[in-house]
């Protein structure tokens, strides 16, 4: 039986807006998601994260569930506006207290905290007063916020992630407008992405300069789906590579190579901001590990410009900038999000990162699936999710055997939660959440995951 390395990290992940609730409690300021989800038509059934899973009040109960599962690490995000209500200036000590108690409780349960500083819930005041991620001041505000977190929590937190999926912030928030702050543009995504990279780098330099004595590690998490060439033609192979560079290399190349990919610079011209030589030097090398959120795979083909029934924002960026046409195999199984289940794409994605970025240590910081779970006699027999995890973890084993330095895996998500604009009907969790009573119930996949952790293997059958 193939097993994972003995030091392999097993964890689950969540984000603050999706689970905490207590949106206006104890001094918390509003975020862009509080505002966005209050606008009619922006979210499924007008649902919001005002209560969500009520993790703010139930975190001790939730940590006990993690302990029962045998979880070794827990990745969560801090709500910036909970500890700095306007994103700058005044500190909310009640917010600091909440996260401090959460961290202490995790350590007490022998669960290692992995903290994400930003998972999309920007303080609303920074959007209104400083133009959000388009403003020149945002990277300095983020660095100050990060400094506060390092100071207050860094004695116990040794694993930091600066940003979660900056591609989503840029494309869905400032391009397609389906996520907060809801802006629609074909140029603003590149401006926002630029500021996100600078913010990440500034935070890392503060951590390395001021908090070296804490002996932790810090990185960034990017998302990317695999792009498989539709045919063996050179055009389709180049299109698949181009799609990956517009998706992942957009944010990873500056950090690992010092600048944007050449194909982006050539195709975008002046629409892509430029880093100064000083900024390039500051950004390069600012990640101690490669954080990857991976869910699915699509075929990529060269777009010949013929009319097609598709949005210009394909799954991976602005399609008209890439000249890439994306499609699915009709034989692939789909999740409730219509994301294809393709485990071999995960292996290829890991190998691509390993090759392009000179064999970095990689952590899959999110991987999972949404299905329409049915509660029968208080239980969810989620066989589809069980097969999903088996397939993707076997692909991870194969990548490790091939020399990829995959060091850990975090299942998304620990429990069902508010799934952004899609609302509460998209269930990703290892635990079913009855949102009417806010009860948590383990799914069959949660029991399988516990056995997999115990045996350090994906090859576990649980009937």
Catalytic residues: 165, 366
Is 200 labelled as part of a ligand binding site? no
C-alpha to C-alpha distance for 61 and 194, rounded to whole angstroms: 40
HEC letters along the chain: CCCCCCCCEEEEECCHHHHCCCCCCCCCCCEHHHHHCCCCCCCHHHCCCCCCCCHHHHHHHHHHHHHHHCCCEEEEECCHHHHCCCCCCCCCHHHHHHHHHHHHHHHHCCCEEEEEEECCCCEHHHHHHHCHHHCCCHHHHHHHHHHHHHHHHCCCCCEEEEEECHHHHHHHHHCCCCCCCCCCCCCHHHHHHHHHHHHHHHHHHHHHHHCHHHCCEEEEEEECCEEEECCCCHHHHHHHHHHHHHHHHHHHHHHHCCCCCHHHHHHHHHHCCCCCHHHHHHHCCCCCCEEEECCCEEEEEECCCCCCCCCCEECCEEHHHHCEEEECCCCCCECCCCCECCHHHHHHHHHHHHHHCCCCCEEEEEECCCECCCCECCEECCHHHHHHHHHHHHHHHHHHHCCCCEEEEEEECCECCCCHHHCCCCECCCEEEECCCCEEEEEHHHHHHHHHHHHCCCCCCCC
Is 18 labelled as part of a ligand binding site? yes
Is 320 labelled as part of a ligand binding site? no
Is 420 labelled as part of a ligand binding site? yes
43's tokens = 């979210």
CB-based contacts of 268-275 (< 8 A; 24+ apart in sequence) = 268/190, 268/321, 271/186, 271/187, 271/190, 272/190, 273/190, 273/191, 273/194, 275/194
Is 160 labelled as part of a ligand binding site? no
Is 94 labelled as part of a ligand binding site? no
Question: Strand 439-442 vs strand 317-318: parallel, antiparallel, or unpaired?
Answer: unpaired
Is 412 labelled as part of a ligand binding site? yes
Binding residues for substrate: 18, 119, 164, 295, 412, 419-420
Binding residues: 18, 119, 164, 295, 412, 419-420
């Amino acid at each position: 039986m193939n097993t994972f390395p003995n030091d392999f990290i097993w964890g689950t992940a969540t984000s603050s807006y999706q689970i905490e609730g207590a949106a206006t409690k104890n001094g918390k300021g509003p975020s862009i998601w509080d505002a966005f989800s209050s606008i009619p038509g922006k979210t499924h059934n007008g649902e919001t994260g005002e209560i969500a899973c009520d993790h703010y009040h139930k975190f001790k109960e939730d940590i006990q569930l993690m302990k029962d599962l045998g979880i070794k690490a827990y990745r969560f995000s801090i709500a910036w506006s909970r500890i700095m209500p306007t994103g700058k200036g005044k500190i909310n000590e009640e917010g600091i207290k909440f996260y401090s108690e959460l961290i202490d409780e995790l350590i007490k349960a022998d669960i290692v905290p992995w903290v994400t500083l930003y998972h999309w819930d920007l303080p609303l005041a920074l959007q209104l007063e400083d133009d959000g991620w388009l403003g020149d001041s945002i990277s300095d505000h983020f660095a100050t916020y990060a400094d506060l977190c390092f100071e207050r929590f860094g004695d116990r937190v040794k694993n930091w992630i600066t940003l979660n999926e900056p591609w989503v912030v840029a494309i869905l928030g400032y391009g397609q407008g389906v996520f907060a702050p809801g802006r629609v543009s074909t140029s603003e995504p590149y401006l926002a992405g630029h500021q996100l990279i600078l913010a990440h780098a500034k935070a890392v330099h503060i951590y390395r300069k001021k908090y070296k004595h804490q002996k932790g590690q810090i990185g960034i998490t990017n998302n990317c789906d695999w792009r498989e060439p539709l045919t063996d033609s050179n055009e389709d192979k180049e299109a698949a590579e181009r799609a990956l560079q517009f998706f992942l290399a957009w944010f990873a190349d500056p950090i690992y190579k010092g600048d944007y990919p050449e194909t982006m610079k050539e195709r975008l011209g002046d629409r892509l901001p430029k880093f100064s030589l000083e900024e390039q030097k500051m950004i390069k090398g600012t990640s101690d590990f490669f954080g990857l959120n991976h869910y699915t795979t699509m075929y990529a083909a060269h777009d010949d410009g013929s009319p097609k029934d598709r949005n210009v924002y394909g799954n991976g960026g602005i399609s008209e900038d890439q000249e890439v046409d994306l499609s699915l195999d009709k034989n692939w199984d789909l999740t409730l999000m219509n994301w294809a289940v393709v485990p071999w794409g995960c292996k290829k994605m890991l190998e691509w990162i390993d090759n392009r970025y000179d064999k970095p240590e990689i952590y899959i910081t999110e991987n999972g699936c949404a299905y329409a779970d049915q509660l029968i006699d208080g239980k969810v027999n989620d066989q589809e999710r069980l097969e999903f995890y088996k397939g993707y973890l076997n692909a991870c084993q194969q990548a490790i055997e091939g020399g990829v330095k995959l060091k850990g895996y975090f299942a998304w998500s620990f429990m069902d939660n508010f799934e952004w604009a899609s609302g509460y009907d998209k269930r990703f969790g290892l635990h079913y959440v009855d949102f009417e009573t806010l009860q948590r119930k383990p799914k069959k996949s949660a029991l399988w995951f516990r056995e997999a952790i115990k045996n350090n293997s994906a090859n576990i059958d649980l009937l």
